[in-house]
């Protein structure tokens, strides 16, 4: 029998209710497993007898393990290579695309004092954001993204998504979650929604405003996201201001035309009353010209957005794209800020030397590096 993750909230809730067990026992079970990762079920105190039987027969404490850990040379970034569990039956491997597969999660450390609030440095100190994967591989096929080159393997369960947070929490005090790792989160909608709901509960108790879900623009899912997860932040991988360029670099854009995407974002913003983050990767000679900046400004001038310009991270010597020059990025940012009064930032890339930066997540094992100084957090963009 294929065992389920105890962090898969809908599964354990359903099984407990069917067995007449109060599903609220899920919380003390999670707390104990997080504090005692090598525990066995019988060690957890004060559970009903039926709960022990059910846990033994259908659930594992973890269905993934931390296989490898890599640190960037500047110490701001740690990449977790997480192995998904293989399931055996009668000595034969069950046919399951996730068996033995790997996903990656990235911890990014920031110093709040480097951000500004009311013209003064923010109080506090180092905090950490976790970039989470939602799929093994990705079917979106973005031509500038390493994960897209893997193709799509399978969806992660909600338990496997939550387990990334549990593994990372042993290394850092995770304050923010961004679904910007491997996969398109809204193509694994139910599991992502359930994993976020779990993260909002004890013992994690994360704030919805500190959870960001990124998408290339899966319109039908955006249309229901606010109702299912009120308060969470939305980031959109736009990457081009016109449909023609989007289709060239993002094949999935053909399924989600730009105008329909804009209509969905307008409805999301009206319902949520929240800023939307726009991710825009800068590709030399493709989408980084002054004309493109004006097109982007016109497209977004009626929205409340923060545009994040992202330097392109090469994914090998055969890449068809080049990184935009600093001058091109500066001019692009200036047009958006001064002509259209749109808050526009340039992302400070982290973890490039461990292939942990934006667009570089594909399973490999770089050399380990030593730690150093922290940087700014994505949360600063909320101010």
CB atoms near residue 62 (< 10 Å): 18
In Å, how far are 74, 98, 144, 322 from 359, measured between CA atoms? 19, 22, 7, 13
CB atoms near residue 212 (< 10 Å): 22
Nearest-Å Rg of the Cα atoms of the chain is 21
Q: What are phi and psi of 219, to 5 degrees?
A: -60, -50
163 a catalytic residue: no
358 a catalytic residue: yes
Contact 225, 179 (CB under 8 A): no
**Conformation bin of residue 100: beta by default, left when phi > 0, alpha when psi is -120 to 50:** left
Per the DSSP assignment, residues forming a β-bridge with 19 are none
Which residue's structure tokens are 């269905």? 63
Buried b (16+ CB within 10 A) or exposed e, 275-310: bbbbbbbbbeebbbeeebbbbbbebbeeeebbbbbb
Which residue among the candidates 145, 194, 358, 379 is catalytic per the annotation?
A: 358
Contacts of 56 (CB under 8 A, 6+ apart): 41
Buried b (16+ CB within 10 A) or exposed e, 340-365: bebebbbbebbbbbbbbbbbbbbbee
Based on DSSP, count helices (H) and strands (E) in the chain, helices before strands.
Answer: 10, 18
SS3 239: coil
Contact 224, 190 (CB under 8 A): no
Residue ranges with strand state E in 90-206: 92-93, 102-111, 116-117, 120-121, 126-131, 135-137, 152-155, 174-179
Which residue among the candidates 11, 15, 60, 104 is catalytic per the annotation?
A: 104
Active site residues: 104, 358
């Amino acid at each position: 029998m294929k065992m389920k993750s105890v962090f898969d909230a809908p599964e354990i809730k359903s099984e407990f209710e069917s067995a007449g067990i109060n599903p609220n026992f899920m919380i003390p079970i999670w707390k104990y497993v997080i504090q005692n990762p090598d525990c066995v079920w019988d060690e957890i105190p004060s559970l009903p007898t039926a709960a022990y039987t059910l846990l033994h027969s259908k659930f594992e404490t973890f269905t993934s393990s931390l296989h490898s850990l890599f640190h960037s040379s500047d110490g701001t970034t740690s990449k977790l290579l997480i192995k998904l569990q293989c399931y055996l039956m009668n000595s034969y491997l069950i046919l399951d695309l996730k068996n033995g597969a790997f996903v990656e999660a990235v911890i990014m450390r920031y110093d709040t004092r480097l951000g500004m609030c009311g013209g003064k440095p923010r109080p506090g100190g180092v905090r950490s954001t976790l970039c989470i994967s939602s799929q093994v591989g990705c079917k979106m096929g973005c031509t500038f993204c390493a994960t897209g080159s893997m193709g799509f393997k399978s969806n992660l369960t909600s338990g496997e998504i939550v387990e990334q947070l549990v593994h990372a929490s042993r290394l850092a005090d995770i304050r923010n979650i961004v679904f910007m790792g491997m996969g398109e989160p809204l193509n694994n909608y139910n599991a992502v929604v359930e994993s976020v709901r779990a993260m909002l509960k004890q013992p994690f108790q994360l704030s919805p405003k500190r959870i960001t879900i990124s998408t290339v623009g899966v319109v039908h899912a955006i249309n229901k996201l606010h109702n299912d997860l009120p308060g969470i932040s939305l980031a959109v991988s736009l990457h081009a201001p016109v449909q023609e360029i989007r289709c060239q670099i993002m094949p999935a854009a053909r399924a989600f035309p730009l105008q329909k995407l804009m209509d969905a974002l307008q409805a999301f913003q009206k319902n949520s009353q929240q800023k939307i983050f726009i991710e825009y990767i800068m590709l030399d000679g493709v989408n980084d010209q002054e004309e493109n900046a004006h097109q982007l400004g016109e497209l977004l001038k009626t929205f409340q957005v923060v545009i994040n310009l992202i330097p392109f991270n090469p994914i090998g010597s055969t890449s068809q794209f080049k990184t935009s020059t600093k001058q091109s990025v500066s001019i692009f940012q200036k047009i958006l800020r001064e002509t259209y009064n749109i808050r526009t930032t340039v992302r400070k890339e982290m973890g490039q030397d461990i292939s942990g930066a934006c667009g570089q997540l594909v399973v490999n094992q770089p050399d380990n590096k030593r730690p150093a100084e922290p940087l700014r957090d994505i949360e600063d963009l909320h101010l």
